[in-house]
Structure 1
Amino acid sequence: MPFYKLTYFNIRGRAELTRLTFAAAEAEYEDDRIKRDDWPAMKENTPQGQLPTLTVDGVVLPQSLAIARFVAREFGLDGKTNIEKAQTDVVIQTTEDLRSGWVGVFREKDETRKAELEKAFHEETVPKFLKLFEGILKTNGTGYFVGNTLTIADLAVYDVFEILIQKKEDILSEFPLLAKSRKTVESAPGVQKYLSERPKTDF
C-alpha cells in the first residue's frame, strides 16, 4: 500500500476535497497541516511553489484538482465506466466555476467593488448553480451525481457548498435533492468520522 502525505494549511480550502475523498475511501494518509509562518521556507522546495501537495512514495504531486482526482482513482471513487469518469470530471469542473465566483469576491480589495461582486454572486451566480446541481441529481435519478454510488462528484459539490451554508444555513431549503445529497455524503462512515474529528476553521 502506498504512503500518502497531503500537505496544506490548517484550513479546508483547496485540500478539503482530497481529505473528503480519503475519508470516503476510509484510507490512511498523513494530513500534514502546516503553519503559515513555515510556508515561506518550504515554498521553493515545492514543485510549483504552491500548496496543496500530495507525496506518494516520494513522488510529490502539485495542483489540488489533479491530486483529488488521483486519490479518487486510487480508491475507485471516480466512476465505474469512462463515461462516468467523464461525468465526475464535469461535476468537479462545474464546482470550480462556482468556487471562482466567491474567490473573486474574497480577493477583491476595493470595498465598494467587493460589495457589488458579493451581491451579484449571491443573487445571480449561486441560484444558477443551485438549479444546475439540483437538475443533475434529478436527471441521474439515483440520489448521486454520477452512477448509483458515492463518487468524488458528490464530495466536490458537498465541499463547494460548505462555506455558502456557513453564511446562509437555509440555502438548500428549496433544493431537496441537494439537501439529501449532503446527508448522504455525511452518512458515509469514513466521512462521518472525519467530519466529527476535523479541526474547526473559517474556510
Structure 2
Amino acid sequence: MSKTKLTYFGVTGRAEPIRYMLAYAGVDFEDVTVHRADLLKIKHDLPLGEVPVLEFEGKTLYQSQAIYRFLAKRFNLEGNDEWDAYWCDVAVQTIVDVGLAFRRDRGWEKTEKEKSETGAIAEHASALAKAAYFVDKLESQLEKNDGHFLKGKLSYADFYLAGSISILNFQAGENIFANKPRLNALKEKIENLPAIRAYLEKRPAVKY
C-alpha cells in the first residue's frame, strides 16, 4: 500500500485536524514540513500551488475542507446520516468563521505605533467581537449536545475544533476560548484520546 504523506508548514494550522483524524484512525503517516520561503520551489508540483496536500492510498488530496470531509467519511466521523453530516459541516464552518474574523486583522505583525497609526486597534476590537459571537454559538451547540457537536457521538467537527484552537488564539492574540468550559473540555477530551495523546507527545514543538 502507498505511504500516506501530509505536506504542510511546521505549524498546526489547517493541517492539524487532518493529523488528528489520521492519528485517531491509526494511519501511519509521514508529516513533511515545508518552509514558507521554500514553497515557491515546489509550487509547480502541487495541484493548486498550496498546502496542505495529502497523499493517501496512491491519490493526491488537496483543499483542506475537502480533505476533512473525505477523512470523515472514510473513518466514520460524520454521524449516521445526512443530517448528522450537515450539523458537522455547520460546526466546522462556524469555526472557520471565527478565523475569518481575523482575516484583515493582522495586529500581531504590527508595532504598537503602527497599530495606532493604521487604526488596527479598533479593527482588532471589531474582529474580537465578531469572533466572540461565533465562539458563543459553538459553546451553545455543545451545551445542547452533551459536550459534542453531535449528541453522543464523536465527529470530525470535534477533531476540527481541537486542532484549530491553537491557531485561532494565535490570530486573536489572546485566549478567546478562556471562558468557554464546554469547548475547552471537548478539546481536552480529544487530546486525551490515546492515539491523539501519542501523536502530541511525539509532535515537534510548534509556535502555534
Normalised by the length of structure 1, the TM-score is 0.86
Pairwise mapping of residues 17-166 of structure 1 onto structure 2 (< 5 A)? 17-106=17-106, 111=115, 112-122=118-128, 124-141=129-146, 143-165=147-169
Would the alpha carbon gap of residues 2 and 92 (structure 1) be closer, same or farther in structure 2, given more than 3 Å must change? farther
DSSP 3-state at the match of 2:126: helix
Q: Who is 1:200 aligned against?
A: 205
For the Cα contact (< 8 Å) 1:150–1:185, is it kept in 2?
Answer: no
- In the alignment, residue 13 of structure 1 is paired with which amino acid? G
Distance across 1 between alignment mates of 2:81 and 2:196: 24
Note the alpha carbon deviations across 1:40-93, whole angstroms, 9 max, x for none.
121012111111111123322221111122122221122222211111111111
- In the alignment, residue 149 of structure 2 is paired with which amino acid? F
Would the alpha carbon gap of residues 126 and 21 (structure 1) be closer, same or farther in structure 2, given more than 3 Å must change? same
- In the alignment, residue 154 of structure 2 is paired with which amino acid? L
Would the alpha carbon gap of residues 2 and 93 (structure 1) be closer, same or farther in structure 2, given more than 3 Å must change? farther
For the Cα contact (< 8 Å) 2:13–2:164, is it kept in 1?
Answer: no
For the Cα contact (< 8 Å) 2:97–2:134, is it kept in 1?
Answer: no
In structure 1, list runs of 5 or more residues that go unmatched: none
In structure 2, list runs of 5 or more residues that go unmatched: none
Distance across 2 between alignment mates of 1:38 and 1:161: 27
- In the alignment, residue 159 of structure 2 is paired with which amino acid? L
Give the share of equivalent positions with the same residue, in percent.
31
For the Cα contact (< 8 Å) 1:84–1:147, is it kept in 2?
Answer: no
List structure 1 runs of 4+ shifted beyond 4 angstroms.
107-110, 164-167
Distance across 1 between alignment mates of 2:119 and 2:160: 29
CA RMSD of aligned residues (A): 2.3
Figure out how many residues of one structure are paired with residues of the other and give that number: 200
DSSP 3-state at the match of 1:115: helix
DSSP 3-state at the match of 1:195: helix
